[in-house]
Amino acid sequence: MSLPLIEEGAKKSNVLWISLAGRDRLAWHVWHDGAIYLVTGGGEQELPGLTEAGSVRVTLRSKDNGARLTSFEARVRTVDQSAPSEADAGAVAALVKERLNAPDAAGLAGRWAASGASIVRLTPDVAV
């Protein structure tokens, strides 16, 4: 598997599967700056154990037919919401834009930070 295949799959579908504690969990995400970003906790999707994990198995499925497109290991890093890097700030903005049905879209990033939600970056562990 290659980074271009992962990028293409992650951009075409806004959901993926993450293996946590022996169970695959569905999660919405965005692809930004060579990585997958997602939100967990604080009233958003619950992905128990993700922020404590050093790495996770990610599965991307085809948006067309639901078949497994690729699976890969990804390194987990929690974004510092109080002082995000430029890339992380761009990813947070992308997450806000892609969050469907948010009642408070204008203040969403602030709500995530205040509610204890975590923004997580999953970096595919593949040779480039």
Q: pLDDT tens digit string along 2-46?
A: 888 899 989 988 899 999 988 999 999 999 999 999 999 998 999
Does residue 128 surpass a pLDDT of 60? no
Which superfamily, per CATH, for 3-124?
Answer: Electron Transport, Fmn-binding Protein; Chain A (2.30.110.10)
Which tokens is 27 given? 């999660």
SS3 62: coil
How far apart CA 6 and CA 112 sit, in angstroms, is 27
Give per-residue pLDDT as tens, 45-100.
999 999 999 999 999 987 777 677 789 999 999 999 988 889 899 999 999 999 98
Q: Which two tokens stand for residue 8?
A: 């293409």
Q: What is the pTM of this model?
A: 0.92
